[in-house]
Amino acid sequence: MGVTRPLPTWLLLAGLAAVFSGWRVFDGLPYLSYPLTVVGIALLLLVTAWRFRALKHSEGDQRSIATIFAFGTLGCVVGLAGFIPGTDTGLEFLGFSFQEISEHVRLKRFFSVASPILLGCSLLPVLAAQWALGRGGSAGALHIDALRARGSSANALSLGLAGAALLLFGYVTTALDRTIDLSYFKTSQPGDAVREIVLSLEAPLQVAFFFPSVHPVKEELLGYFRELARATERVVIEEYDRFSNPDAAADYEVRRDGSVFLRVAGRTEQLDFALELEFARGSLRVLDGHVQQALLQLARQRRFAYLTTGHGELNDPQAVVEEPDALDRKLQAVREGGEFSPEEELPLQMLRTLLEQLNYTVRDIGLRQGLGDRIPDNAAMVMILAPKRPFHETEMDAIFDHVDRGGSLLVALEPDREFRFEELRDRLGIDYDPAMTLDDDNHYGGRGSIANRRLVLTNRFSTHPAVNAAGRGIGGRTGLMMDGPGRVSEAEDVEGLRITTIINALPSNYQDRNSNFQFDEETEERGSHGIAAAVERVAGGQNGEDARGDGMRALVYADADIFSDQILRSQMINTAVAADGIKWLGREEEFSGEVFSEADVPIVHTRSENVIWFYAIIWGAPLLVLGAGLLVLYRRRSVREGDGS
């Protein structure tokens, strides 16, 4: 019986798989995408013609089977064609034009929903009918085969319609925009850094609460500070009602409920919280960070961090090229309830905020601010972040003078810049190779441009205090995110320095020597290499001859983008690395450690993880449900056969 042959069904599946692979999997590779798509469409048209030819020459029970296959195959082809109007490229190809954007969106939405529903409701009956014919069938059993095929295809159609109903239900619930807040909430706990700061204070820490006697926000805060008191035995907790205790309220100059005061040896810092728990949750999730910032201001005087400017650095406002639609996006954010400040934010806002939280005043310094003369004596550290142009000779002399006076220096580099790191080589003992580091598999970002290979990651950290949290696995599961870092290594001919490679690349990384984003075995090699290094000048030099820069500390990073706003916002481990580096440069490594936060952090996957999750969801879940259904059906048939025997 030719109509029951499985070959057309296999060709149908092959055609659909070829079109899907060419359209989605190998998109961006024209030499694979176009041939696969053309071959897939040809197979689908061939199978459709085959099925309708069989329908034309069949009759009786054979015709009922052929009808399922013919119209099911036709539905697959029509459903696949329906994806074309669901894309901007398809609408442009068909010549559609719209006066209003709403009409455009509605048409695309219709086809984006209707096409997969039609495809699923057509393909499932064909597969079910073919499976039913394969399970039975013998000479003279055509009538039974037809009944089995019709029943199986009807059940499969019901399954497809049920899936469509769930899809539409999901769309309706999304359109209604009704949400229930079942989010996770927990007040952060005292971290290692806060405990060390409390232990280093010259006097016990007094914590004064000004809340109503019974209050949910107060209870959350008390839990944090009681744990801190238990761990350090240097915390005194006081609870006040500002109306019942007017003397205490006057002493702390309380103006409202919801205030917490931290006092050490007469110096006081204030933390304010919303009185409604719903609005206080955000602050409670990151309470440990707020407490650390306040304690640092109590532990020492505010210090200064200078960021060089005027050479195209990441923090140089004149080097920032704003996108053409930036103003439109800001106005749209205001319409959606956001805030808009008429004053432009300075670049590297996240790094500046981090420095301020660590009790530093951030100042930019260039030729106009005196960099060509002398770096101020109050500079706790100087940061040079990816300069594009060389420094003037007088500016470099000022930096040399700062280093020779035992100052701290952070240098973050980027490739394709005119800045000459060689001028700092003899002072820092570091060689820099600007070739970008890539990784074919262990990189961030999903399908798309091969340029994503430069978004590499690493979890290889030393035990140095400048990477204390990251080295202990704190701050992130995936690893430190970098954007095409170069390579740093110890200069063998520079003496008197203690150099430690604190961050290394993964063994699967390689440096792209010819900028083609491909691994070339003849000229490139995979292997681990240095991404960042810590430099110290030992007292009096190693031989006791050169006392210049005694106590000097420096950090050299082969990638400056690890400090960019985009990465620091999304990667907690990058923030931890930046914070520990600042603490080490400021000679406060005893305060390094974990800062607990219960705030939600975006989950970022590598390319290989994205592929696994994508196909696990798209194919794994449906196959699991289908497998469970087949298992139940098989067991049911086994029971029936056992009863019949």
Distance, CA of 239 to CA of 218 (rounded, Å): 10
Instruction: Check whether 287 has a pLDDT greater than 70.
Output: yes
State residue 343's pLDDT score.
Answer: 47
What pLDDT, on the 0 to 100 scale, is given for residue 549? Answer: 53
Cβ atoms of 228 and 290 within 8 Å: the answer is: no
pLDDT for res 30: 78
pLDDT at 269 over 60: yes
Whole-number pLDDT of residue 340 = 45
- Calculate the average pLDDT of the chain: 82
Token pair recorded at residue 83:
């994806």
Report the pLDDT value the prediction gives residue 80, as an integer from 0 to 100.
83
Q: What is the pLDDT of residues 14-53, one digit of tens each?
A: 888 888 888 777 776 777 888 888 888 899 899 889 888 8
Residues in the chain: 645
- Write down the pLDDT at residue 542: 43
Distance CA(605)–CA(576), nearest Å, equals: 19
pLDDT above 90 covers a percentage of the chain that reads: 32
- Of 443, 304, 472, 462, the closest CA to residue 383 belongs to 304
Tokens of 361: 């005043």
Q: Please check whether residue 220 is in contact with residue 187, taking contact to mean a CB–CB distance below 8 angstroms.
A: yes
Digit-coded pLDDT (tens) for 60-93 = 778 888 888 888 889 888 888 887 776 666 666 6
Asked if pLDDT for residue 95 goes beyond 80, the answer is no
Q: What is the pLDDT of residues 447-494, one digit of tens each?
A: 557 888 888 989 999 989 999 888 776 655 568 889 999 999 999 888
Residue 447 confidence (pLDDT): 53
| CA 476 remoteness from chain centre | 10
Q: What is the pLDDT of residues 368-401, one digit of tens each?
A: 888 989 999 999 999 999 999 999 999 999 999 9
Q: Which of 32-41, 130-139, 283-292, 577-586 has the lowest average pLDDT? A: 130-139
Amino acid at position 187, single letter: T
- The H-or-E segment that residue 553 falls in is strand 553-557
The 10s digit of each residue's pLDDT in 155-179 is: 888 888 888 888 788 777 766 655 5
Report angle CA 412, 417, 419 to the nearest 5 degrees.
Answer: 70
Enumerate residues 6+ apart whose C-beta is below 8 A from 557.
Answer: 410, 411, 412, 413, 485, 488, 503, 531, 532
3-state SS string for 139-180: CCCHHHHHHHHHHHHHHHHHHHHHHHHHHHHHHHHHHHCCCC
Beta strand 360-365 with 303-308 is: parallel
Threshold 0.75, pTM exceeds? no
* Band of pLDDT at residue 1, cut at 50, 70 and 90: very low
